[in-house]
Amino acid sequence: MASKTIALRAPLKLALTLGLLTATAAFSVAPVFAGDCPAGQAATTDIQAHPSKPVGVTDTVLSAIDLSSKGEAWKGNILRLRKLVVQPGGVVPWHEHNVRPANILIVEGSITEYRSTCKVGIEHPAGDVTAEFGQLAHWWKNNGKVPVVLYSADVLPPAMHEDHMM
């Protein structure tokens, strides 16, 4: 009976050791998330030309909530949900997110984001979600053959109420 117990422990020890090695390897490699600048392509200075006008973009506000009732710090801010459709070749022009945080969900198609902090375009296929906040400045282009549909949820500060683009 003792030899049977010892025989069962060896595969269990091997399985635990392999599991530990696999977990260690998984956590020792820096994760790469969809929508991030590829490894080795980060930029510290903006090296790209910036389109300043929208091209082939429809921007529809689906819902807006005035957040003023939530206190003085929120006075004049608007939480809004928009649907944007970017036609093939269409451009969402250069803009910043230091005062306007946003979450973007790509629903149909695929769109390329050009960030001030990345040397190459970042592809966002349908299903991708990207958070835009802080020192982020960028523009987007539909390099594909079909329209791109995306939803943007953002907090619009009072100073930007006339700014209807992404």
Range(s) of the domain holding residue 1: 1-31
Q: Is residue 22 part of a domain?
A: yes
Q: For residue 90, what pLDDT band results from cuts at 50, 70 and 90?
A: very high
Number of domains in the chain: 2
Task: Give 133: exposed, middle or buried? Use CB within 10 Å, 0-12, 13-18, 19+.
Answer: middle
pLDDT (average), residues 136-143: 92
In a domain, 50, yes or no: no
Q: What is the pTM of this model?
A: 0.73
Does the pLDDT at position 115 exceed 80?
A: yes
**Same domain membership, residue 121 and residue 76:** yes
What phi and psi, each to the nearest 5 degrees, are found at residue 35? Answer: 85, 0
Q: From its phi and psi, is residue 82 left (phi > 0), alpha (psi between -120 and 50) or beta?
A: beta
Whether 41 is in a domain gets the answer no
